[in-house]
Amino acid sequence: MLEHTDPSQVQLTKDGELKHFITTEHLSREMLTEILDTADSFVDLGAKQVKKVPLLRGKTVVNLFFEASTRTLSTFELAAKRLSADVLNLNISTSSTSKGETLKDTLMTLHAMHSDMFVVRHSSSGAAHFIAEHVTPDVAVINAGDGRHAHPTQAMLDMLTIRQAKGAFAPLSVAIVGDILHSRVARSQIHALRTLGVEDIRVIAPNTLLPRHIESLGVKVYTDMQQGIKDVDVVMMLRLQKERMNSALLPSESEFYKLYGLTMDKLALAKPDAVVMHPGPINRGVEIASSVADCDRSLILDQVTNGIAVRMAVMSMAMSGQTKSRSDLNGTEV
């Protein structure tokens, strides 16, 4: 009774172009590849004297961060500026909501200021989806992280980093290690890896940090890191939030580090050319040893560089799709 909708459909135009970017789930391999190819073309831009392209000239991008963030916010800001957009950063966690304004009212207010794109981070899963579907469908919505649901630009910058390092996706074994339960990054990574053809995706965590039936996403579950990391090509570490320590999920940081922290000893079990990634900010000595984070197999800083390029790619693609879908709409109205 009552069919359910595919949550990813909201982000596509009727012609299948991106008009919001909410989740990597259910996007086609062609779409993900197009994002990576577009991002590739922006990677070199950063090294040039003039770092700007005019793709978003005259457009207003609002970075709406309902959850504190420094690096994601600054890479989105840089990405928008390099696309020549006008950028407004709003840290809502400290303003409107504390005055009792609802998310919808906040968005409607910004909508009335004729914004063209909202980059949204929110602590509730489904927040970006809610805004794109119910509040401002005619403003391109880029999900900069919603609860535990999705962080699609992070996943795509990780895919770009893997592609640069490894070339093809299909033959790879990839391990995602750490707090899978609370991780929107892990979920988006898993969907993207699957779609791009990686067959051997492993998640490694104690049972307290694994969501129920995570294997239904197409991953193999390991609770023993030594086994899980064996012969993998890519190790993707997740950040362990300090507050998890106070909620009976883990006995202590030191026990977590001993069992699941990425050390040189454990990395030695992976393939000799295995690379190490981390979405940052890293907790040295909690989930990753300094010696690993700083070694030449660590791609952590490449991820940051790629983050700007990927965000430029999805912002320009979503704006283009949104503009077309708006003019289609206006066309039919006339």
- Rounded Cα distance between 316 and 61, Å, is 11
Per-residue tokens: 159:
């895919």
Token pair of 284 as six digits = 């040295």
Q: How far apart are the first and last CA of the chain?
A: 38
**Quick check: 99 binds other proteins (CB under 8 A)?**
no
Bridge partners of 21, per DSSP, are 142
Q: What is the contact mask toward other proteins in residues 151 to 190, using x (rule: CB under 8 A)?
A: ---------------------------------x--x---
- Least distance between other proteins and beta carbon 312 (Å): 26
Residues 279, 158 contacting (CB under 8 angstroms): yes
Task: Give least dist CB 228 to other proteins, A.
Answer: 19
The residue among 25 and 233 lying less far from other proteins, judged by its C-beta, is 25
Question: Rounded CA gap, 328 and 312, in Å?
Answer: 24
Q: Is residue 93 close enough to count as binding other proteins by CB under 8 A?
A: no
Query: Hunting for tokens 């006995």 — which residue is that?
Result: 251
Helical ranges in the chain per DSSP H? 29-43, 71-82, 103-112, 127-130, 152-166, 184-195, 225-228, 253-260, 264-267, 290-293, 300-333
* Span from 35-43, 52-60, 146-154, 321-329 in contact with other proteins (CB under 8 A): 146-154
Of 143-151, 161-169, 264-272, 316-324: span binding other proteins (CB under 8 A): 143-151
- Rounded distance between C-alpha atoms, residue 143 and residue 176, angstroms: 21
**Residue 150 binds other proteins, judged by CB under 8 A:** yes
Q: Which CB sits closer to other proteins, 98 or 216?
A: 216
Between residues 241 and 305, which has the closer beta carbon with respect to other proteins? 241
Binding residues are 71-72, 99, 121, 151, 154, 184, 239, 280-281
Binding residues for carbamoyl phosphate are 71-72, 121, 151, 154, 280-281
Binding site residues, other proteins, CB under 8 A: 1-2, 4-7, 25, 102-104, 122, 124-127, 129-130, 133-134, 146-150, 184, 187, 211-214, 216-217
